Structure formats: C-alpha cells, structure tokens
Amino acid sequence: MRKRKWIIIIGASFLTLLLIVNIFASNFFYNLAIKSDEKEFLVEDEDLVVSASAMNVFLEGGWREWVNTQPFEHWELESFDGLKLKGYYLESEEVTDQTVVFAHGYLGRGRDMALYGQYYYEELGYNVLLSDLRGHGDSEGDYIGFGWHDRLDLIDWVNRVVEHQGPETEIVLHGLSMGAAAVLMASGEELPDQVKAIVADSGYTGVYDLFEYQMERMYNLPSFPVLPTTSLVTKVRADYSLKEASALDQVKQAEVPILYFHGKKDAFVPTSMTEKLYEATNSEAEIKLFEDAGHGEAFAIYEEVYVEKLNDFLYRFVSN
C-alpha cells in the first residue's frame, strides 16, 4: 500500500512538473513570437537570408527615396478593440477610383510596402494606402495578430477609403508574408463590395501551421504539448487562438478573386502552404511560383514577370 502511495505521489509530482514546464515554455514562445517587442531570435535565422540581388533592391532601391518624398496624408482609426492604428494615404496624381491597401510582413511597417506601392502609383495610377498593422510601426498594440485581428483592421481601412473616395471606388488588398495571411483571412469575411481583388505574396495557411513548422525547423521540437498550450496562452493574453487564426479556413469562404505569389526557395514559409491555399480557394484564383526566389523576394528578383502577372490579374477584375 505504502509503495503504491509513493508511486502515485511521484507520478503526480512528475506530471505537475511537466505542467509547470509546459506553461513556462508556452509563455516563453508567446513572448518570443507574439508579444510586440524586439525579436532578436530572427537575426541569424538562415531561412531569412536574403539573396544578393534581392538585398540590393531592398536596401538601395529607388522606392526608398520615393516613399520619403511623397506627400502622404496621415490617417488614424480606432480598431474594434480600442487601438489607435496609423495609415498613410497617397492620392494619385490623376483622379482615379482605384486604390490599393497594403499589409506588410512580420516586424515590418507600412512604408515597407512602398516597394510595391511605387509601382501601383506610377505605373497603374492607383491611390495608395500603407498601414502599420497592430503592434507594428506607429500603431498601438502589445501583441502581434499574425493576420487574424488584422483582417478586421483591414476592413476598417477599406471602409475609410470608401468614405474618402466614395462608393464607386475599387479596392485591391495586397499583402506580403504576414500581410498576405491578413488579406487572406479578410477574404473569408463579408467584405465591402468595393474590394475587387486580393494579392497574397508568400502567405501561410494558418498561425498554428506556421508555428508548428518553425518549432521543428528552428528548435527541433515537436509541437505537442507546447504549441496547444501556447495557443491557450495566446487566447488569454491576445484574445485569439493559434488554431482559429486560419487563412486556409477563410479562403474556403472567399468570394473575391485571389492571386497568389510565392518563391520556390522560401524556407521560412514553405511554398506548399500557398499551393494548399490556392487549391482550397472558393473564389477565382491564380498562382505564380518563382523558381529561385526566397521569402518575399519574388518582386525584387523577377519584377518584370511579377508585374506582368499582376497586371493581367488586375485588368481582369478591376476596371481600367
């Protein structure tokens, strides 16, 4: 009897210790990836090493001077949960009903999307709205939404554009990486009629899927039991779970046409995720993969091919 009692005590103590370690690890991963602060763990991530040709465009491209010299209007809106979000709106030189609303990547800010915004503005004649997603840039927020709450913020920005431009405006949502997930997550909502097309570059199927992939790749750890607990921690601390933040589920409800871009050498967000999204999309969809492009590099390396596909897509679904 005494021996059995000790076995129960030792077993219970061991399970309690595992639970404590699991909770600690889950909060660690929340703070590491979701809490809005500096992310030093990405500095030496080999999956984010940028090719020389892309780096030249990212660091020295004329788009940087362009964004610094344009007369952007500073916009502000309040999110559904009371955050002050910042946006930067640039009216086209010639009057147009076409506007592109951008969503940037993880740890970025709205102005980063000027790489694409310059093309929309100068070559397509669009109005441009760059926004700082919650927890990024000058927008408020103590956590990163990975696209989930951002999907609702994007709809608010769309409504702000409609209010400014009028009901005849036509809007394109264009997102990169986390921003791509955000526009895809928005696709499953009841979007304003003015949203005519969505462009998703280097997006992921869902936050849980991405974390599961990264835990194995970066830390050689299985997702269970830490990731489910991290999801619970995220629900408590940021009001969303990693499972519910699914772009894959959202595109199954999409009614707006979606164009997918992805680099075949992307090791940070595997190309297979975009292929899976494309196959699951309920609305009209197209996909373009780039042979030698890493994460988010396609436009920088293959600009001519990229814009040719983009133009063809937009000409089909947005008035000229």
pLDDT tens profile 275-299? 999 999 999 999 999 999 999 999 9
What would the two tokens of residue 14 be? 């061991």
CA distance 131 to 112: 10
pLDDT at position 117, please?
A: 97
Q: Which domains does the chain have, with CATH numbers?
A: 49-206+245-317 (3.40.50.1820)
- Do 116 and 109 touch, CB atoms closer than 8 A? no
pLDDT at position 17, please?
A: 39
**Across the beta sheet with 127-131, what order do the strands follow?**
73-78, 84-90, 127-131, 98-103, 170-176, 195-201, 258-263, 285-290
In DSSP terms, which residues pair with 172 in a beta bridge? 100, 197
CA distance 139 to 82: 11
pLDDT at position 61, please?
A: 76
User: Of 26-35, 202-211, 235-244, where does mean pLDDT reach its minimum?
Assistant: 26-35
Q: What is the mean pLDDT of residues 15-32?
A: 57
- Do 88 and 110 touch, CB atoms closer than 8 A? yes
Virtual torsion, Cα 164, 166, 167, 171, nearest 10 deg:
-60
- Do 151 and 185 touch, CB atoms closer than 8 A? yes
pLDDT at position 18, please?
A: 43
What is the sign of the dihedral through the CA atoms of 53, 55, 58 and 59?
negative
| Residue among 221, 227, 254 nearest 243 (CA) | 227
Task: Describe the chain by its helix, strand, coil percentages, rounded to 5.
Answer: 50, 15, 35
162: alpha, beta or left? (left if phi > 0; alpha if psi -120 to 50): alpha
pLDDT at position 30, please?
A: 81
CA distance 297 to 136: 21
Residue 19 has pLDDT above 80, yes or no: no
CA distance 251 to 253: 5
Residue with tokens 């009897």: 1
* Backbone torsions φ then ψ of 149, nearest 5 degrees: -70, -25
Residues 158-177 pLDDT 10s = 999 999 999 999 999 999 99
CA distance 313 to 191: 19
pLDDT band at 32 (very low <50, low <70, confident <90, very high): confident
Rounded to the nearest integer, the mean pLDDT of the chain is 88
Q: What is the mean pLDDT of residues 4-10?
A: 51
pTM of the model: 0.90
Residue 53 has pLDDT above 80, yes or no: no
pLDDT > 70: percent of the chain: 84
